[in-house]
Every structure is written in structure tokens, then in C-alpha cells.
Amino acid sequence: MPITVDGAVSGIDTSALIQAITSGQTAQRKTVSDRISLFEGRASKISELIGKIGTMTDALEGIKEISDFRAFSATNADNDYFSVAVDGDSVAGSYDIKVLDLASSETRAGSIESSKTADLGLTGTLALTYDGTTSNIAVGSGDSLTDIASNINDIDGLSAYVMNTTTGYRLVVQGNSSGADYAVTFDESALSGSLGFNDPGAVIRSASDARISINGLEVTSSTNRFTDPVPGMTLDAEALSGTASTTVTVASDPDAIEARLQTFVTAYNDVVNYVNVQSVYDQEAGIRGPFVGEGAVSRVLGGLRDIIGTTFSSLGQDYDSLSLVGIETDRNGKLSIDTDKLQDVLSDAPDQLSNLFTGSGGFIAAMLDRADVYVDSSDGSLYNRKDTLEERVSDMNDRLDAMDRRMATTQARLRRQFSALESLMSGLQGTSNYLTSLFSTSTSS
């Protein structure tokens, strides 16, 4: 068996010697490994940048319609009788509102019975009409209130149950939808007797529409929600107003428009700040951001800044750039809103402001097109760069694997050779010891 203990005979640290011989390959491996870490870091940061640009474009998508620049608020919108919400299609003005009726669904109760499970002694057919559809319920010998309720529950839109009232058991049928169009009619003419659904007092609650009055004009709805009783208004009726009306004033809300623009400004600044931070280079401090030397990234920031500074003269209006409406750029490339200037434009030329952003030749269309050049998932430049870096990482990992295999082979070969040397030297040492012993014995003789 070959000797494998380092330097057992020769005294040579063979492991250290093998490591020194292969140190060149180790250095090459570290160089490749460092480049893998560099490229992985760049690909990861580019992926984060793509996400931040996506957040910016989402902010633009949220304000690309003309109605997004028509914000309104309503005073006295939440009171004891109703609540009101308004959107960009609203009409400014004062509205005196009353809730006259709340919507209800129909409920009827049949005649009083002493038992809910006893045979009613009826046969024939009960016909119920609801939402324009007539359903026939077969009533046979042995059927009870409970049995009939179960069969009615199979009709879409109707619910039935037996209630134990103070005077006895009654079969209750109710529609699930409110509004005058959802009345329930009962035809008992094909029954051998009556279930009492058409008797006086059978109607517990009639199907009816909700009614409100706005500035003296009545409006109805099958539910307690009124959609666009006046443009842009949604009203939920909650309680009857009686004789008193409640005044709701709808007015333009410029602060809401500024808040929407601020969402974009914040997202844009996040992109600029991220690129700036990842591009820091300080040779003395040993700082080199992952975007240093990344031309694809620097072109992105330059391209976005071009759109920010564009004058959209094709719109043919006075306010044709962001700076003119109060969105200004500082020396670091970040945006801020001059509230006073923006509010003046909203007051003097609101249509020009909305057109600057939402017009076909305006800012949002241009910025979305430019961003698409960078972050389109099929051919955007940032996606292409990220894919290239990831492919290079994959290739370098393959190269590392090949280097590891070559190094393992070299180390194994060198260890075999050193082991053979140790074995040879061990044999020579044994021969030397034998000869020395032999000569010593001969001399003594």
C-alpha cells in the first residue's frame, strides 16, 4: 500500500507543494468567481430597476384619462340619510336631496296552521311567478308546510321557510332581490284548497323601488344604490329623510389632482435615486456601484430625462411643458411640484393641464412609449441586458465546473506521484539501513 502521509520519509509537505503548484489555477478560479458575483449583482440590480420603472408607468396609467384630471369632492356627503361619492365626471353644483322610500323585496306569509309537519290535506299545483318566470310546485297527499317550503327553495331567487308565530305556523316566501320588478305572484287556482298567499294580510312587505328627490326631481332605483342620478355621483340611501332635505355641494378638488401627480413624481424620483446610488464610484474609498460602466442603464436615465424636459408644441397650447405647470427638475434630476404654480394652472387652464398629460401627443403617451423601449419584456433594452448578464453567468459557471474538474485531476495526479516518491524513498531508506548494519557488523568482526 503506497504511503500517503505527507513527508513521512522525505520530510516534504506534499500537500503544501501541491497547493503551490496548482495556485495558478486557484487564482484563475477566483477571477472567474469574482466576475460571476459582479454580473449576478448587476443583473439583480437591473431587475430591481425594471420593477421601479414599472411602478412609475403604473402611476402614469392611473392618470392617463381626461377624467383623472377632473377631481371633485362633496360636502355633507355622509349624513344620517344617505352617503354620496363623486368622480371625475361629476357636475359642480348644489343639490338638495331627500330619501323618500327605501327599496324592499317582497315577503308574503300563508294562512295559519297548527303544525308545520302535519299533512295539509291539499293536492294540485301552486304556481309562483317571479322575475318573469313561472314555476309550478306540485302539492301531493301528505305534504306539510315544511315540504312545500323545501320545494319553493329550489326556485332561483326565492326563499321559503316556516315561521312559528304567536298565532301558529305560517309559510313565509320572500324574493331575494329588491325593486318593483321583483314582485311575487301566487296562483292557487289549481290547488284543492288554499295556502292563503292571496288572502288579506298575506303581503307582509311589497316589492318596491327606492325613491329619492334631487332638487325636487324624483329618481328611482331597484336597490338603495343610485348610480349617476346626476353625472359622476353615486348615492347610497340609508334612511328616510322625512320632510327635511340635505344639501350636498359638489366642487372641484385640485388637491386630489395634485396628489395623483405626486404619485408619479415620487415613482420617477425613486428611479432616479436608485440609478444614482447604484452608479456611485469612489476610487479612493474603493466604492464601485454595480451600474458603473453600464451603458444600458445610463441611456435609460438620459432617455427619461429627455421626455421630462420635452416641449409638446404639437398640442398647440400655452402650457406645453411640465415646468410651465409647476413640475420642476432639480440639479440631481429629481422632480418636485410647485404647488402654487400648479394650482394657478388648475384654476386658469384645467383643460390645458389635462391635455398636456393625456393628449395623444402629450407627456404620458411619450413617457410610456419611452419606458417601453427599456422595460418591454420581449425586446426592452434592460431586459436584453439582464438576459445577457445571466447568460454570461451561466457560461462562467460552466467554466468554473470545468476548472474544478481539471484542478481535481491535477491534484490527484500530483498526489499519486508524490506517494510513489515516498514509497521509493522508503525502500531506499530500508536498503541504506541494511547496508549500514551489514558494514558495521563486518567491521566489528
pLDDT at 2 over 50: no
Which one, of 237, 3, 197, lies nearest residue 107 by Cα? 197
pLDDT at 1 over 60: no
| pTM for the structure as a whole | 0.63
Give the pLDDT of residue 144: 97
Confidence of residue 192 (pLDDT cuts 50, 70, 90): very high
Give the pLDDT of residue 428: 66
Helices (H), ranges, 325-380? 339-348, 350-358, 363-375
Domain ranges, ordered by start, for the chain: 1-71+253-427, 72-103+210-252, 107-205
Give the pLDDT of residue 279: 87
Give the pLDDT of residue 11: 58
pLDDT at 411 over 70: no
Tell the burial category of 17 from Cβ atoms under 10 Å away from its Cβ (0-12, 13-18, 19+): middle
- Least confident segment among 248-252, 282-286, 355-359: 282-286
Neighbours of 192 (CB within 10 A): 12
In whole angstroms, how far apart are CA 308 and each of 108, 258, 335?
A: 66, 17, 9
The tens digit of pLDDT for each residue in 304-345 reads: 999 999 999 999 999 999 999 999 999 999 999 999 999 999
Rg (CA), the chain: 43
The tens digit of pLDDT for each residue in 29-54 reads: 777 777 777 777 788 888 899 999 99
- CA pseudo-torsion sign 47, 49, 53, 55: positive
Give the pLDDT of residue 153: 97
The tens digit of pLDDT for each residue in 86-96 reads: 988 899 999 99
Which one, of 365, 362, 364, 360, lies nearest residue 319 by Cα? 362
Looking at CATH, the fold of the domain delimited by 107-205 is given as Immunoglobulin-like (2.60.40)
Give the pLDDT of residue 329: 95
Give the pLDDT of residue 22: 56
Residue type, 334: K
Confidence of residue 205 (pLDDT cuts 50, 70, 90): very high
